[in-house]
Structure formats: structure tokens, C-alpha cells
Structure 1
Amino acid sequence: MPRLFPTLFIVVLALGACGERDEPPRALTVDREAAASSKAAAADNAAYIQPPKLEIPFHKETLDNGLTVIVHEDHKAPVVAVNIWYKVGSKDEQPGKTGFAHLFEHLMFNGSENFPGEYFEPFQRSGATDMNGTTDNDRTNYFETVPVGALDMALWMESDRMGHFSGAISQEKLDEQRGVVKNEKRQGENAPYGKAMDTIAESTFPPFHPYSWTPIGSMEDLDQASLEDVKQWFAEYYQPANAILVIAGDITVDQAMAKARQYFGAIPSTSVPPRLKNWELPVQPNKREILFDQVPQARIYKVWNVPAIGSKEEDALGLLASLLANRRNSLLYRRLVLDEQVATNVSSFYYGRQLAGQLIVVVDVKPGQPLEKVEELLNKELLAFAQKGVNVEELRRIKQSEFAELVKGLEKNGGFGGKSDILARSEFYYGDPGALVNGLQKYAEVSVGEVQEIANRWLKADSYTLIIKPKSEYSSTSQDVDRSKLPAVDKTVELELPQQQPFALDNGLKVVLAERHDTPAVFMSLQFRSGAAVDGEKPGLASIAARMLSEGAGDYDNLQFSAREEELGANIAAGSGLDYNSISLTALKNQLEPSLDLLADVITKPLFAEENLDRVKSNRLDAIAQEKAQPQGLAMRTLPPLLFGDQHPYGSPLTGSGTVEGVEAIGRDDLVAFHETWVRPDNATLIVVGDVTRKELEPLLNNAFSGWNAPRESLPEVNIPAVERPQKARVYLLDRPGAQQSYIMAGLVIPPWRPEGAEAFDAMADIVAGKFTSRVNMNLREDKNWSYGARAVSLDTVGQRPYILFAPVQTDKTAPAMRELLKEYRDFLGDQPVRKEELADYREDEVLKQSARFQTKGQLLSSIAWQVEKGLPPEYLAEYPQRVAALTQPQVEAAAREFLAPDQFTWVVVGDLDKIRKEVEALDIGPVIVIGEQ
């Protein structure tokens, strides 16, 4: 029974394969006869709720060479998603040769026989989005979303690496990507709890079981991978008959099938290795292990081996995981985090795979709480739940909530969880692209008794327990396609944005509506000036205020509020940035009115209960400790006060969590004052995107917000003082003994955003360090193999902006990496300014990327919110492609001279100082200060 993706516990029944050659497209809808036949049974099931009526029309066909092709038409945006799943993952490796599937995924981005360059290059000048590759135990996939005019290019590239790749694999490329993967492994293991999944895999599955190692593999096996090994891997597994191709978007079935035959049809398939489908469920482990790591708090993992994907228990196992944790109302979160307050977070998930599944519960123990006490309470609650813990109303709410998330998620064609991903996943695991939606009826029918029986069967004392404690305080020959050159990309982009309809409510609140009727959902965001910039002497106040809005409002306490959200299939969230806070709502169309009433309670009548504030503050302090234990978090906390000063509105940590002193000082009166001062209709704008008209929406909003009015007091001004850059670079070091990597971060204060020259700045920033193919990333990742990735970002603030460069690198390359980073920036400002081809690639990519920029309601909402925040007219978004297309080299060079100053960087480096300090000091780029050293 397929699951959508690991974080969404929608599970459904697989029905037979569908759509043979020449069969017309079939809609993925709930089978009406099946629904009718189960009506009587559902009537007797108190946990039954009516599933949503969803459609994902598709056509499925198998080419003569065995390639499975699935096509879905969606004409709302001029983009097409391409998603290829290869039926090979780390389970197909052999002991001693682990990590091959993931290593090969990396190699596949290093060009093919007919395109020997970086695979990303033609995509990053063609407007591609949602582009990546992933490997797990069961499969490897590659995906991208491109403008319609770039589809031939995308299919040429994907087919070239499927049919013309073996000759492109060289020892040099193997060594390069081996280095990248090893740095990825170091980066993962360097993070707190980074070794947990490797340990769990090895300890819960018997030796030689395909799941007894993780996809990243071992350092030893990666070192031993030979050129012959990887070529054999390609020959055995990367064949049409071992792959699923999904084409979804603004294209007809006939057009898509013609292109699939044109580009893939002549690639031959040889003998495909038999696919592992069955494996006896491993014996339930009864084992306990303890690891020590540089973590700020202990963590408990409990693991049970359970049936695999496709088992009859899958639906109930997914629901069981949601009942246990992940929600405010779930058993373990309620008992351990809210009631007893012995944990800061609890999560659980059903980790379903082809050969076996696992039910995993994770508890972050609150610092200062005895681990034994927390574990005893956890075991007690699990035992009680297994005996009689399933509640019918909770089960109904979970189903409604999951259905709502599914409806909202079906807007996107590509990327993680998009429709192309759903179709491929369903075909891969069940041989039926329609398995997901066709199984919703079965999912809706899962009863309390079924889930209780599953809980009783699997939540046994026999299980695996892992405790992590703090170390201290803290090639074919097809001639059907011209392989001599890449197909040209059609640069024509026809983009139709819904008209923005501004209006004001009776209370003066400004509203901007953009109608989009593709799915029955409505997205809203209320944004109001405030943010960390108004925290004053209590850094963290704005973000704590945002967090507390979901802790109860109106007549609902925190648990009742969460239950009401689930009943409605709605989600209300609050966010906090440097200059703005926001309150968002996603709701189903048929539940819009009661969802708006709940939103109005949050806006006008938050409870700010003392007992909840104490818990939220305590958990925030624990989160700050977590940040300090992570190299990236530590750097993000350290850099802002060095750039702006610790008294500046932007001097608080970039993580948004505040400071220990600030959080500790926050009281309920502060939250009330913050709310009264800033959450007012004359300081806010409501952006609405979705399946609703102004005629429907305006009276609903006026009714919901009828009691919300601006106070008599004037709105306070927010003062953001300007700061001066240091005249010379400064280097700050933070010691992390034993770290396998150093985390390098460099910051620079740059002028505020303004419309004039904004496109030139973005082009400059992207080319030097902002994207995968940037000069900085190509140097450290692809050329040197010192880092898994190096990038730079600029925060979009009202005042002066922080420009931040970050690069995690292997320890022995810390100083050399800093030297290379400086070299790239100095070259860019000196004798190697932006090249003509770099700018041309950027222009084309950025213009074509607009095809996918407004594909979902969430994307459209975010863009309009940004436009409104900047005080720009609606046409600013529509005219953006023309402004980018007109960019010139002198404009980009001028932007570099205005904004970049590498010799004024403020550096923060987190690493093992015994190994890196002398070399960093020898760089002589500025004074070196060790933070914390007396």
C-alpha cells in the first residue's frame, strides 16, 4: 500500500496495472463501484471519513525496449516535469561494495559521452527548477522541471546518460565524485546524531541483509570502488527495462509518447538483474546500545521491525505512527512534552521499504531530566497505548489532516512529492501509477480496531533501543537522435498570472486576492511589520510570540486548537523574520468559513497561557543549545553581532531563536504588548490565493474580522541604523575538538535592497557563489573535492543586508579553502569579471525559470507577498523577465564593485583548532581572534 513520501503518512491500496499500449488516458479517481460496495461497511465504522475526490489523469505505456513511460497532462503552467526512477538502490549492493548506488548517482551528473561537461550546465541556462537526484535503499531517481521549450533538451540529456554514459566514466571523474561523497558523509556524521541511522541499520538487520547498511556506504568501500566496478554497475542496472519515465505537465499524451520513443526508444536493454522483492521479516531485535556524541541533550530511538510496503498492515502502521507522535495531540507529544515536560520533541514514523519496514520513535530528552525516568515513562505510555490507546476521534482527525495535505500537495508536477513523483512511486512499488489515489477509499476505511490490533501486535517490549548521550556538557549506439549536439531550447515563455484584486475590509485591512481554481484549496498569509528588528532588549520575543499563537486561541486551549485544525483539514502557522512576522492559513474550500473563524481567533484572541509559555521558553532554550552544538548553527549565532553589533536590530542570531538571556526574560506581558502593538489591521496586509472569488471571500473576511480594529495609538516606527564595514578582514575561530570538518562562514554588510539594479546584483551573486555551477562551488566541490557544497546568500531585509558565504570543508583543507574563496572573489572583481557566456547562461535560465515560478498556490502567494512587502506594483512580477533579459556585462560588473569587498569579510570558522589554527593565522588576511579564549 503506497506511501506518498516519508514525512506524509498517506497509505493506500495498490490495484492492478493499467494502461497498456494505445489505451486512452485513465483518470486516477476513487473507484465509484468499489466505494459504493464499501458504503455499508463504512457506515458501521465510526473512524470512516469521506476521502476527497481527486484526479491525476495518466497514460501508461511500455516501449519495445522495456522502458515504462507514464504521461500526465496539466496545462496550468508552461512547464513539464521529467522524473526517471531506476529500479536500483543500496539494497542491490554487496557487502564490501556499499555506497555504489549513491556514488553512481553523483557520477551521473558529470556529463555523458555526447555531453562531457557538467550535467547541470544546460539546465541552469534553460529555466530548470526542482532539479536533483536521490538514492535510497530501494531506488535511484533523477528529476527536473523545465519550460516547455526546453523539454527536448531535457529528454536528450536524460536519454544520453541512460544510453551513452559508460564511455564518459573516467578515473578522474570517479576520484572527483568519490571525494565529494566522502565529504557528504563527513558532513552528515559531523552533525549531532549524525551516526544514528548507520547504527540503527547495522543493529536492527542481520549481517548481509540489504538494509543493514545505509545508502551513503562506508569510507573503506568508497575508497575501494574501481572504474570497472562502476562501469559494471551501469551496465547491469541503468537500462530502459529497469526504469520508469514520467513526463508530466503542459504536453499532450501523443506529444509526450512521440518524444519518449524518439529519445529513448532505440536504447537497448540486455539482461536486467532480478529485482529483490521478498525477504523474510527480520527477527525482532531486543537490543540496547549507547553512543556518545557532541550533542546538547540525550536522544532515545526505539525501533521495531514491521511489514514492508505493500503489506496489508501498511495503512494502519502509518496511522499508528501519527497517533503516537508528530502532532500536538498525539499521545507521546502530549504526555512527554506537554504534560510531564521531560522531552523537548517526540517524533515517530513508519519507514516502509520493499523488503521490510520499521516503526521508529525518537525522543529528545529535556536537559536535566534523568534519562532513565524518561525512558521508563516512554515504555509505560507505549504499553498502555498498545493495549487500548486508539481513539476514534483522533483517528478521524488524522485522516482528515492527511487528506488535506494531499489535496494541497497535488498542485506541483515535479520535485519531491509532485504528481510525477507520485505516479513514479506508485508504479515502482505497485506496478500501478494509480495506486495512491485509488487507495484513498481503503485508507479512509481503516478502523480503530485495525489500528489497535497493529499496535498490540508490534509495540512489544522486544525492540531496539539506541541512546545517544552528550560527550560533555554539550552505452548504446542509437542513430535515431542526433547526438552530435544538444537540442536547442525554445526560449518562448508564455506566462499568464492571475489578476491581483486589491480591496479593503470594513476595518481597513488591505487584502490582495489572486484566484486560482485548480484544486479546492485556499492559501492565505497575513504579514505585518515587526520581526526580530523590534525585539529590543529581549532577542527572541518576535519568534516566541509567533510560536505561542498556535498554543491556543479563543475558546480553544493548545490541544483543542490542534484538534480543531485537524477536524477542518486546515493549517495555521506563524512565522518570524528580521523585519516581518506572518500568520498563514491553508484551508479546504468547503471548510473555508470555519477555518477563517479559527484564524480570527489566532489574530484577535491568542491565549498566551503562562504554562504554555514556560514550556515553549524551556524548549527554545534547549533548541539554542542544539544550535550551539552544530557547526552551522554556532556560526549563524556568532556572525550577526560581529557584523552589526550586539545592540543592533539585526545583531541577533540568524537562526531566529534569540539569545538565552532574551528568551529567559520574556513574560506573558511582553507577548500581550507585542501583540497589541504590532498585530493590527493598519499594520498588516492579507494575501489570498486559491479557489475563491472576491464575491465569496469579502463577506467571509468582514464577518470573521468584524471585532478586529486598529487601536487609537499611532503605529511605532522601526528604526534600523546603518553600520560601517570594518576596514580590514577579521577572522574569528571557535573550537570544536575532534570535528571531521571545518565550517567556514564569511559575512559582509551590503546596502539595502532597491528595485534599481536588483537584477544585476542577483546575476552577480548567482554567478560568483549563488548556484550549483557558481565559480565558488565548482572550485571547492567539483575541482578540489574539499566540500560537499559552498554557496553564498543575501538576506532580504529592510535595512542593510547581510551577505553570507558558507563552506563546510574537510579539516585539512580549511586554510586552503579560505584562500581559494578569496581568490574567486578577487578574480571576479579583478581580471576575471563576469564572462559573456556566464551572463548569457544566467539570463536565459532566469527568464525561462519564470515558467515554473508560479506553478503552485504557495509559490504565487510567496511572490505576491514579497511584491506587496516591497511596495511594488503587480506588473513588477510580470515584467521581471524583460528586465533580466536586458542585463549587460557592465551592469553586473558595476554591481560586483558596489557590493563585494572580500578584503572586508568577517570570517567565522568552527573546527578543531589544534589542526587548523596555525594555517589560518598564516593566511594573514586579518587579525585572528579565538572566541572564548582568555
Structure 2
Amino acid sequence: MRMKTVALTGAAALAFVVPVQAPLFAQDAPAIAGPAPVATLVEAVDIPYQQFTLANGLRVVVHTDRKAPVVAVSVWYDVGSKHEPKGKTGFAHLFEHLMFNGSENAPGDFFAPLKSVGATDYNGTTYFDRTNYFETVPTAALDRALFLESDRMGYLLGAVTQGVLDEQRGVVQNEKRQGDNQPYGLTQYKIIEGLFPANHPYGHTTIGSMADLDAATLDTVKDWFRSHYGPNNAVLVLAGDIDAATARPLVEKYFGAIKPGPRSVLPTVTIPTLPAPVNAVMKDRVAAVMISRNWAVPGLNDPDNAALVVAGSVLGGLASSRLDTMLVKKEKLAVQVSASDRPFAQVGMFNMMAIVRPGVDPALVDKRMQEILADFLKNGPTEDEVRRAVTRFVTGRVEGLESVGGFGGKAVALAEGALYSNDPGRYKTQMLAIAAQTPATVKAAADKWLSRPAYTLTVVPGARDAYDEAKVPPRADVPVAPEQPVKGTRGPLPEVGQVKPLSFPKVERSHLANGITLIYAQRTAVPVTQISTAFDAGVSADVAGKLGTQRMMLGMLEEGTKRRDSFAIAEEQERLGADIRSAASNDRTTVGLRVPSINLLPALDLYADIIRHPAFADAELARAKAQALAGIKQELTSPQGLAARVLPPLVYGATSPYAKAQGGGDPRAIAALTPADLAAFHQAWLRPEKARIFVTSDRPLAEVKAALDRVFGDWRGSGAAGVKTFAAGRPSAPHIVLVNRPDSPQSMILAGAPTPLKGIDNLLLQNTANDALGGSFLSRINTDIRETKHWSYGVRGGFQASEFAAPYVMSAPVQADKTGPSIDALRTDVTEFLTTRPMDRVEFDRAITGAIRSLSGNFETSGAVLAAMQSNDLFRRPDDYYATITQRYRAMTLPELNRSIQAALNPRDFVWVVVGDAKSVKPQLDGLGLPVEVIEAADVAGPAPAAPAGAGQ
């Protein structure tokens, strides 16, 4: 379970309104789309629904979407942290966890019955205004999902024992430590305390305080449940392969007998205004100064909300934003900026943020932020800025609404509207309000709310200031007598009907005029085209001795071409609603495009120009290098960043091409890079002979091919192509590397073991066996470290498949005082699984059944299909691999799975990387029987380079 912000305004999409059969080549889309067409498109967006209310007050909303045989089940409770009184902070989030630990008629972890039916996107979240639970299940499993949701709504308390409370309290506290352990991880507390009075409903974080969580007793948490979680305090949304006529008797059957409880009382909320500007300073172990300026502003239902959303985009949300253009690109005072409005149900928080470029006076950055805001308030945004912000906002919702559930699908849109605005169709009103914004309306709202005094927090590098949470010692493990949960009275879980098989789209292949292979699948749920041009390069092609060259080259693609500068590239993407992104795995370098299909032709002109004609201009490179070097410094303050830099050479061997995967690269090499270096890498690796183009689109293959031929068909490589060689490296002997990171409330454990496997071996057997060891929430290692011992928020392990290697890697952030015991427990868990306690029949049945039943949910979206197409190609699997995978699962046997993982993995081969406070952690490691090497975090990337040429003002 995790806390996540899901804004009400993220609820509609341009995608549902463009005529699917409009001829692609009738005419090119105009370069700039005016606001009227956008408003017209949003007007046509529709998520049709029906609703009814049970006698006990449960409100039910139903949306029918038959594209896949799955149903999203989403239950939203009108209880969040704003309802918590003093002394009970964190209770709503704690109960989110408790409600996953079984109920009277479904004892045990809720993830077990959900996984066994093939549920996807199942989770729960808590925030200021609500607690929600959601899962997407095969249609045939809807009865079981409704039984489970109704049981934890109406029949929970008999299963909540002292042991369950202690277990989930520990998990939540480690979730809190995990957040606090990040660079700038304490800023959320300071900002909320600075903006809101202590007794304000929004005046404390959702995670709560350690002291309040420790003080929670079994009686107090049960009273909390009785006061808030009744059916009349909830909204149930069903979206997908379902209709209201079918849904009503099912909902009546499972929820109708639950008695109503007290209704949550909407707290009285004011939008506080500070009497004068506040400038606070805090120290943290960070690499760069952060300046964060904040205001309390109106919430979702206020008429000014839409204007503030647009204001945030124009100021710091768009790639072409005012802050990015001035502070990062032109004046080179900052390495990262942002601005945004975060609207909640009754209030919002508006934030402007800048990470100061090392060597720059923070006072200058603060002054320029004030001046940029003052100019915005005085003159407002331009018409073009508003159009770009609106277009980006609308098209950015396409991906979420292709899904019926999850964190941002159609069920979320309907539930948020019902709960926060008493209107499931509120998403449409919100989208129309966004589309209707003008420079005048945005200026008026910004001037009204952002001219008020701000709370400014400056975080400076230094030893982290002592804070109250750090003074609370980890709760001692207190054994409790076994308790007998209340026995259920509703009978067994409903049976699951016949689950419809996956209908994976037909994958077709073609070739462009110059021979580039085109791999295509048609998806018509939304009129959007997604393209990924994958080059046979990747991290393994990075330049030995100049690690980071590829990453710098990719970062420079959108910083200017022979025809467009970086400002033009950013603005053109925003006008088209296009999203162009580059990335690299160990084996492939990819440049992706996502765009509404109506704008495919002009977007491809831009996309091809970025890929084929990057300029690598000196001035842009100097700025990009400064940003990259600052990013590496930030990596060296992050527990995950440090561990990820240290492990690859150890597990692959220093001479393996895959050992080059060391974060942002070598800072000394990056400082010395020249435009010629980047151009040479680009010429050697981003060339048509090394390219394959993957596409999912509502447009037919012939149209897509013609459009791609128009921009790539005449492309020819020049000069010598890059060549990769794969000599296996020699992995490190088993030992522990302890990276000293003082004052860490958690230790980050990353462990890796080499295996004889390669990704091209097809690891389906090993991955299925690993479902029981480390590949799922119910795995042995997560159950042990998180659920049984509650030393972590989550532990995972799995084969990290690359084309020519597949080491096994485990990740475990654990509370600092349990670092040594956690490593000992992980070693025991892995050893027993591979020797005396292999995968059992229950785990086998759950893994196989869950894998088969989840296939339709896993491939509900075009993005999932596109990723599968690329994986199949990389690992040399047939294009119909997923269309035939059910038969592969059904043919597996338990002995076969155990043999597959036992032959691949040796528990004695692990090398361990621990990032934590050496003074408290090393004594725990010394007794584990492995050599311990201690290094300082600052030394992980080697000596710092001199300032790169041209980097100064």
C-alpha cells in the first residue's frame, strides 16, 4: 500500500473525441491549436455512468467498458487525515494497512485471494481527504472481489488483533522512515506546519507522527473504524465489463446487509493567509540548496482552481515554463525547477521550487524567483502559454483513461467526483473549466492568491537538524499471546467462474524504405499513437572510460537540432500534445513518442528531427553538463542512488559491459565531454541499421508506415557503426560493502548474485518460481521482513534480465537497528527456499492461476502492449509469445519450477551493498561471517571534477 496523490482534475482525455477514421493525410494538423477546438474536444469527452444507492447509504456508480473482460472495483471512504483529531495522526493511513490484513470471513492477507483470481492494479491509498481500495479483476472474479470489499467494510474488527495492529504499525513506521530517509525528505513536514495552524484539518501529514502511532491501542483503532468506515460513508465504483442491471443485485447481495454507521463530518476549513512572509531555513544532507515557495490556496471545487492549475503549468510545469526558460536555460542559475497547484477537496497548496546550481548564490535565485512571479502577476500569461498548458493538460490524461481502474483510470475519475463534489461527472466540468481559461482569468486568480505572503523554505547542505520523529526510538518487539480471531458467518469465498483468455492484439511487421523494421499492433480504445524507436545500444554501449556519454547524448537530443532550438522543441511538443522521451536499458537506447493520432504527422516531423539532427551546441552542452554533475551529486545523497552505483560492477564484474550501469556516470568524464564526443556516439549508435520502430496506434498499419517513411525512409547511416562485445566479467567474491551515510533512519540493502542465465534463455520458468521467493507481495522474503518482522515497508527480489545476463537482485530498505538481522534473515529465506523449503503446492497454484487470470488486466493498455512487443524482440521471442503464454503456464509442474530456480541461483554467491549510518550499522554486520568494506558516500563516484569548461556565468 502506498500514499499517492490522485487529483480530481486528472479525469478526462482528448483521446475519446477525435474521429477514429479521419484520414491521416487529408491535411497536416495546424502548428498551433486554438483554445476553441480544445474546448470542443473536451466537451465531447464522456464516461457514461449510472448510479444507485442502497438502503444502507452505499453509493454505487457503474461505467460500462467492454474492451477487455475485466472490471475495476474501487471503494472510496470519506475519511482521510483531515478527519484525525490531535493525538490520532496517522490513524486513517494505519487503518488502510489494517484493512489489508484480512477480515472475519476472509482471514489472512487480502493479497492472497486477490492474486489468486488474477487481480491487477490492486492497492490502497490514503491522503488528506479519503482512503481508497481498488483492484481490477477478471469479470468472472467480480463476485469474489465484492465479497472481499464488503467483508472488510462490514466484518473487519473481529480479525483485528493486537498482533495485527503491532505488525502493521511497524510497517507504517518503516514507510515513514523510508520517506524521511530521502534527500529533502523532511520538507513536507515543515511546509505543512508553515502554511497551516497546528489545529487545522490539513495541518499535519497523512503519515502521522511516530508518537501517535506508538500510542494507538487496540480499542482506539477499533473505535476509529466504527466511526468512519460504514457503507453510508463510502462510494463504490464498478468500471469495465459490467452494467448497472448486472451490478445492482451483486452489490445488494454482498453489501446490502451491512449496517450504516456515523457519517464523516466535513471539517470546517479556512484557507489561511500568513500575516507576513516567512523565510525558514533547514539543513539536510543534500547536494544542493533547494528553495521552495508555498501558499495555501483554494481546493478542487473553487472556481479559481482551474486557473491556478494553468498558472502552475505556465510558471513551472511545462518544459517551456517561465522558471525553466529563465532560471535553467537562459540564466543558468538553477538545475531543476517546478511549479504546480496541488488541489485537495477543501484547500490546495501552490508551490514554486528551484534547486540552486552549485556555486550560485541562493539569494540571487530567490530574488529571480520573486521577480519572475511578480512579472507573471503584473502581466499574466500569453495566449500561447495558456493554449500550450491546456493542451498539455488535456492530452496528458489520455493514458490514464485508457485504463478502467488503477491509480488514475476511469473509476478514479468517477469516484473522486462523487466523493469530493457529489457529482461523478465532475471530471467533465473540471476539464471544461481548464479548457476555458484565458490569460485574463489566469492572471486574476494568480494575482488574488499568489500575491499574498508566501512560506519560503530553504534547504541547505549540512548535518540534518534533529527533528522530533528521529527522537522516537523504534518500538520494541513485544510478544503477544496468540489471539483467536472471530470466526466468520458468511460462508466461504465465492467461486471464480471461467476467466476469458487473453486476446493479445495481432502483431504485424513491415519495413520502411530504408530497411528499418516496423513492428506494429493496432489498439483502438483511444485514438493515440505510441512509438518507440529502439536502437541496439544501451548502457552496454557507453564509452569505456567516459561513462555517462550515452546519457549526456540522450539528454541533449531535445536541447536543439539544426532547425530548432530547445525553446522551439518544448513549445512545439506542447502545442501538439506530444510527449517525446528518451531512455536506455542495459541493451537498448530508445526514443519514444506519444501523441493524439490527429497530430501524428507534425509530431513525427519534430520527432525525426530530434533523432536525426541533434545540434549538440556548445552553450547547451555546458549547461547540460552542469545539470548532470549536479544530478550525480544528488545521487550521492540518495540511498537508492548510492546502492545502484555500487552494485553493478560487483555483480556483473568490472569488465562486463553491464557494469557500466552506474547512475549518471563518471563526473570527471562528463566534465570533459565535448560536442564532438556526443556527435560521435550519436553517429555510431543512433543510426537506421541499429533501429527498430515499435508502434501501437488506432491508425491502420499502412497509414502509420507511410507517415514514418515520410520522415525516416531516406535516412542512411554514415561512418562506422558501433560494435558491442560481450566478454563476461568476473563477479566479486561474496562480501558486504557498507556505504556510510550518517543519520540514516533506515539502511538500504541491495544484494546481487550472478547466475548462468541470460535474458534470451526465456526465463518464464525461473520467474514463475520466483513469484514465491521474491517476486510478489506474498513472497517469502517480503512476508518475512515486512509482514512477520515488520522491519521494512517492502522487500523484493528477482532476476534482472538483460540480453546476455540475468543476475538475481534483492532490495530491502530496513530500519537501521535491524540491518544485520535483516541480512541474516534474507540469507536464511533464500537458502531454505533453494534447499529445504522449496516452492510448495499452494504457492505453485497461486502463481500459475494468478499469472493466467491476470493476463487481460496486464495488457489492458497500449503502453503495456508496446512494452511487451519490445521485450519479445529483445529476448528473441515470437511476436505471438503472449498470445500463447497460457499454454506454457498450464504445462508447468512444481518440480520443474523448483529445479529451474535451484539450478540458477546459489545463496552463497550474493554480494551485499548496504547504505546506512556506519557507526550504528557496522557492528551489526561484523558478526555475519562476511568481510565488510566501508566506503564514504562522497567517494562512490570518485574525486570531484573541476568545473566544466564554459559552465560559469
TM-score class, shorter: over 0.9
Picking from 914, 918, 932, the partner of 2:919 is 914
Q: Does the CA-based 8 Å contact 1:102-1:216 persist in structure 2? A: yes
Q: Deviation of residue 277 (structure 1)?
A: 6.0
Matched, 1:699 2:706: yes
**Could you tell me how far apart the structure 2 residues matched to 1:763 and 1:10 are?**
35
Verify the 8 A CA contact 1:530 1:542 in the aligned structure 2: no
The amino acid of 2:621's aligned partner reads L
- Is the CA contact 1:751–1:799 (under 8 Å) kept in the aligned structure 2? no
Preserved CA contact (<8 Å) 1:422 1:436: yes
CA-CA distance at 1:380 after TM superposition: 1.4
3-state DSSP class of the match of 1:410?
helix
Mapped to 1, the partners of 2:495 and 2:209 lie a distance apart of 41
Deviation string, structure 1 residues 64-120 (Cα, Å, up to 9, x no partner): 111110111111111111111000000000011111000110100110011111110
Equivalent pair of 1:757/1:895 in contact (CA under 8 Å) = no
Contact 2:522–2:700 at 8 Å: present in 1 too?
Answer: yes
Q: Helix, strand or coil: the match of 1:328?
A: coil
2:499 to 492, 504, 508: 492
Whether 2:735 is the aligned partner of 1:730: answer: yes
Q: Secondary structure at the match of 1:876?
A: coil
1:201 to 170, 184, 192: 192
Conserved in 1, the CA contact under 8 Å of 2:123 and 2:133? Answer: yes
Question: How do 1:359-374 and structure 2 match up within 5 A?
Answer: 359-374=350-365
- TM-score, with structure 2 as normaliser: 0.91
Q: 1:283 to 1:932 in 2, by over 3 A?
A: closer
Cα distance, 1:610 vs structure 2:
1.8
| Residues 653 and 659, structure 1, Cα contact 8 Å, conserved in 2 | no
Residue 430 of structure 1, CA deviation: 1.1
Aligned positions of 1:733-812 closer than 5 A: 733-754=738-759, 758-812=763-817
Unaligned runs of 5+ in 1: 14-26, 31-42
Report if the CA contact (8 A) 2:196-2:203 is conserved: yes
Q: Amino acid of the residue matched to residue 703 of structure 2?
A: E
Contact between 1:11 and 1:443, CA under 8 Å: does it hold in 2? no
Q: Does 1:931 pair with 2:938? A: no
Q: Does 1:874 align with 2:882?
A: no
Q: CA deviation at 1:236?
A: 1.0
Task: From the superposition, tell whether residues 285 and 512 of structure 1 become closer, same or farther in structure 2 (CA, over 3 Å).
Answer: farther
Cα drift, residue 335 of structure 1:
0.9
Which one-letter code corresponds to 1:669 in the other structure?
A
1:606 aligned to 604, 608, 614, which one?
614
What SS is found at the alignment partner of 2:846? helix
**1:453 aligns to what?**
444
**Hey, what's the Cα distance between the residues in 1 that align with 2:109 and 2:430?**
41
* 1:291-306 pair list within 5 angstroms: 291-306=282-297
Q: Is the 8 A contact 1:12 1:443 kept in 2?
A: no
User: Which residue of structure 1 aligns with residue 691 of structure 2?
Assistant: 684
Asked if the contact 2:228/2:261 (under 8 Å) is kept, the reply is: no
Bigger drift between 754-763 and 599-608 goes to 754-763
The 2-side partners of 1:923 and 1:779 are apart by 19
Seen in structure 2, the aligned counterparts of structure 1 residues 555 and 663 have a Cα distance that, compared at 3 Å, is same
Offset of 1:755 from its aligned partner? 5.8
What's the offset of the Cα at 1:751? 2.9
> Partner amino acid for 2:881?
Y
Quote the residue 1:20 is aligned against. none
Shift of 1:665: 2.9
2:948 is aligned to: none
What's the counterpart of residue 79 of structure 2?
Answer: 88
Q: Which residue of 1 aligns with 2:97?
A: 106
How far apart, CA to CA, are the structure 1 residues paired with 2:809 and 2:34?
59
| Number of corresponding residues | 898
Structure 1 CA distance for aligned equivalents of residues 569 and 140 of structure 2: 47
* C-alpha contact (below 8 Å) 1:321/1:350 kept by paired residues: yes
Partner of 2:41: 51
Does residue 548 of structure 2 align to residue 544 of structure 1?
no
Which of 713, 720, 723 is 1:717 aligned to?
723
> Structure 2 residue aligned with 1:649, among 648, 657, 673?
657
User: CA-atom RMSD, angstroms?
Assistant: 2.5
Q: For 1:28-67, what aligned pairs fall within 5 Å after superposition?
A: 50-52=40-42, 53-67=44-58
**For each residue in 1:781-830, what CA deviation from the matched residue of structure 2 results, as whole angstroms up to 9, or x when unmatched?**
11111111111133221222232111111111111111100000110111
Q: CA deviation at 1:284?
A: 5.6
Cα distance between partner residues in 1 of 2:571 and 2:393 = 13
Instruction: Give the aligned residue type for 1:697.
Output: V
Amino acid at match of 1:133: G
Q: In the alignment, residue 649 of structure 1 is paired with which amino acid?
A: P
Aligned to 2:211: 220
Distance 1:585 1:276, change over 3 A: same
Closer/same/farther in 2, CA of residues 758 and 175 from structure 1, 3 Å limit: same
With 564-573 and 642-651 compared, the bigger mean Cα shift is at: 642-651
Report how far residue 182 of structure 1 moved.
1.0
The 1:634/1:160 distance shift into structure 2, 3 A limit, reads: same
How far residue 8 of structure 1 moved from its aligned partner, in angstroms, is: 9.0
1:823 maps to which residue? 828
Please say if 1:401 is aligned against 2:409. Answer: no
3-state SS of the aligned residue for 2:251? helix
- Among 373, 376, 381, the alignment partner of 2:367 is 376
Secondary structure in structure 1 of the residue aligned to 2:679: helix
- Measure, in 2, the Cα distance between the counterparts of 1:203 and 1:647: 51
Alpha-carbon distance in 1 for matches of 2:511, 2:360: 51
Determine helix, strand or coil for the equivalent of 1:632: helix
Provide the rounded CA distance (Å) in 1 between the counterparts of 2:36 and 2:503: 45
- CA distance change for structure 1 residues 295 and 51 in 2, over 3 Å: closer, same or farther? same
Q: Distance in 1 between matches of 2:464 and 2:162?
A: 45
Q: What residue identity is the alignment partner of 2:641? A: G
Distance in 1 (alpha carbons) for counterparts of 2:659 and 2:574: 38
Q: Is the 2:381–2:442 Cα contact (8 Å) retained in structure 1?
A: yes
Report Cα offsets for 1:18-65 as digits up to 9, x if no partner: xxxxxxxxx9999xxxxxxxxxxxx99899754343221111111111
Question: 3-state DSSP class of the match of 1:344?
Answer: strand
In 1, Cα distance between the equivalents of 2:692 and 2:746?
44
Q: 1:729 and 1:647 mapped to 2: Cα distance?
A: 18
Counterpart in the other structure of 1:616: 624
**Cα distance in structure 2, aligned partners of 1:903 and 1:28:** 54
CA contact (8 A) 2:63 2:239 kept: yes
The residue aligned with 1:34 is none
| Cα distance in structure 2, aligned partners of 1:99 and 1:561 | 44
* Structure 2 residue matching 1:875: 3-state secondary structure: coil
Secondary structure of the structure 2 residue equivalent to 1:124: helix
Deviates more, 1:187-196 or 1:599-608: 599-608
Is 1:505 aligned with 2:496?
no
Contact 2:58/2:236 (<8 A) preserved: yes
Contact kept? 1:732, 1:930, Cα under 8 Å: yes
Matched, 1:585 2:593: yes
> CA offset at residue 643 of structure 1?
2.3
Q: 1:280 to 1:535 in 2, by over 3 A?
A: closer
Cα 1:87/1:115, change in 2 over 3 Å: same
What whole-Å deviation, never above 9, does each CA across 1:502-535 have from its counterpart, x for those lacking one? 1111111111121111211111111111111111
Letter aligned with residue 722 of structure 1: A
Deviation at 1:628, TM superposition (A): 0.8
One-letter amino acid of the counterpart of residue 378, structure 1: M
Deviates more, 1:796-805 or 1:60-69: 796-805
Aligned runs of 1:620-631 on 2, under 5 Å?
Answer: 620-631=628-639
Aligned partners of 1:323 and 1:514: how far apart in 2? 36
> Helix, strand or coil: the match of 1:82?
strand
Q: Which moved more, 1:587-596 or 1:641-650?
A: 641-650
What is the TM-score when the length of structure 1 is the normalising length?
A: 0.93
Query: Any gaps of 5 or more consecutive residues in structure 2?
Result: 19-32, 466-486, 940-953
Rounded to whole Å, the distance in 2 between the matches of 1:233 and 1:472 is 39
Residue identity opposite 1:893 in structure 2: N
Question: Hey, what does 2:62 align to over in structure 1?
Answer: 71
Matching residue of 1:595: 603
Moved more, 818-827 or 664-673: 664-673
| Worse-matched range after superposition: 47-56 or 599-608 | 47-56
Q: Which residue of structure 2 aligns with residue 33 of structure 1? A: none
Q: 1:374 to 1:358 in 2, by over 3 A?
A: same
SS at match of 2:101: coil
Matched, 1:887 2:892: yes
